[in-house]
């Protein structure tokens, strides 16, 4: 287990799913954690309680709002004197193919999945300490074509480009930027899809390891990337799909 004692972390979308598992794992490794959420205050407070009220706090920001990055980073800056680890995890999905995607849907998903991490990083840069970490959560869909969620896939493609571009810019400050790409993981987001008859078996069969992912499968990789052990990795795209569609 990495030692993040003395480090501070902000995890977006940490009230549920993968973000929750990441926040809990970074907290277990010793970090102080800002637990961002959108709507589910009770769930965010549970995460804070699990880490410990003395080492974590919940912060709300609705990421589709243009001022969300400012609201979020101002609150984090008022609680931490610097930031060591920024995990851009929050995102929304959309089951919509090219023919059925409206302009409104398109703008909404880009606002949450691309615009908000972009401006969160911009706002966080003065707070982010040299030697820090930015970890963006992408998706296996930038490798595996899924036309039924085309707009979501495009947003994750933007996140991939964001990662290696930022890595080049921030290397001189010793800040590493890496992209972690999960495959299908059991969360509230995928629950309806996985509840369809035969879906668990079908999605499990696409992984070389024969099951769907759990939030902790992703959180453990993020914790490694956040740790000093990963100091020589930057601009990387890390496939954490359990060997899906190889
Ligand atoms: P969930 O839907 O389970 O959780 C999403 C989290 O993001 C919640 O904490 C939610 O907060 C927050 N969030 C969502 N929309 C907003 C918003 N508009 N404003 C503020 N907060 C928001 O997601 P997952 O855990 O499944 O996914 C996490 C990440 O992993 C995402 O980037 C996703 O694209 C990626 N991913 C997930 C996969 C999967 O199979 N689950 C596969 C590949 C990638 P709240 O509930 O408080 O509103």
Task: Give the pLDDT confidence score for residue 1 in this predicted structure.
Answer: 58
Report the b/e string of 189-224 with b at 16+ CB within 10 A.
bbeeebeeeeebeebbebbeeeebbebebbbebbbb
The one catalytic residue in 57, 80, 119, 152 is 152
39 belongs to a structural domain: yes
Task: Spell out the residues 6+ positions from residue 67 whose beta carbon is closer than 8 angstroms to its own.
Answer: none
Task: Give the pLDDT confidence score for residue 94 in this predicted structure.
Answer: 78
Told to judge if 37 belongs to the known catalytic residues of this protein, a careful annotator would answer: no
pLDDT tens-digit readout, 103-130: 999 999 999 999 999 999 999 999 999 9
* Complex ipTM value: 0.99
Task: Spell out the residues 6+ positions from residue 64 whose beta carbon is closer than 8 angstroms to its own.
Answer: 108, 111, 112, 116
182 CA: nearest ligand 1 atom: 43
Q: Is the CB of 179 under 6 A from ligand 1?
A: no
CATH of the domain at 164: 3.40.50.720
107 belongs to a structural domain: yes
pLDDT greater than 90 at residue 159? yes
pLDDT tens-digit readout, 20-37: 999 999 999 999 999 999
Q: Is the CB of 2 under 6 A from ligand 1?
A: no
Domain count, the chain: 1
What range does the domain containing 127 cover?
8-185+214-237
Tell me the CA–centroid distance for residue 117 and ligand 1, in Å: 13
pLDDT tens-digit readout, 135-152: 999 999 999 999 999 999
Please give the angle made by the CA atoms of 159, 162 and 167, to the nearest 5 degrees: 130
């Amino acid at each position: 287990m990495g030692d993040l004692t003395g480090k501070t972390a902000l995890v977006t979308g940490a009230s549920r799913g993968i973000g929750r598992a990441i926040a809990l794992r970074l907290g277990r490794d010793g970090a102080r954690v800002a637990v961002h959420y959108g709507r589910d205050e009770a769930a965010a407070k549970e995460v804070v309680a699990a880490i410990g009220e003395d080492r974590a706090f919940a912060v709300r920001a609705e990421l589709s709002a243009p001022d969300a990055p400012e609201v979020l980073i101002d609150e984090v800056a008022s609680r931490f004197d610097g930031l060591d680890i920024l995990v851009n995890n929050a995102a929304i999905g959309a089951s919509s193919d090219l023919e059925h995607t409206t302009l409104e849907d398109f703008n909404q998903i880009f606002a949450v999945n691309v615009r908000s991490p972009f401006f969160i990083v911009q706002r966080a840069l003065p707070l982010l300490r040299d030697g820090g970490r930015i970890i963006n959560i992408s998706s296996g869909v930038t490798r595996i074509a899924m036309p039924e969620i085309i707009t979501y896939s495009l947003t994750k493609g933007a996140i991939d480009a964001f990662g290696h571009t930022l890595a080049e810019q921030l290397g001189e400050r010793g800040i590493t930027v890496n992209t972690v790409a999960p495959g299908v993981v059991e969360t509230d987001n995928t629950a309806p899809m996985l509840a369809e008859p035969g879906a668990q078996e079908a999605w499990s069969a696409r992984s070389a390891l024969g099951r769907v992912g759990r939030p902790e499968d992703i959180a453990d990789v993020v914790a490694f990337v956040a740790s000093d052990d990963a100091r020589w990795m930057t601009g990387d795209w890390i496939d954490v799909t359990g060997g899906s569609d190889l």
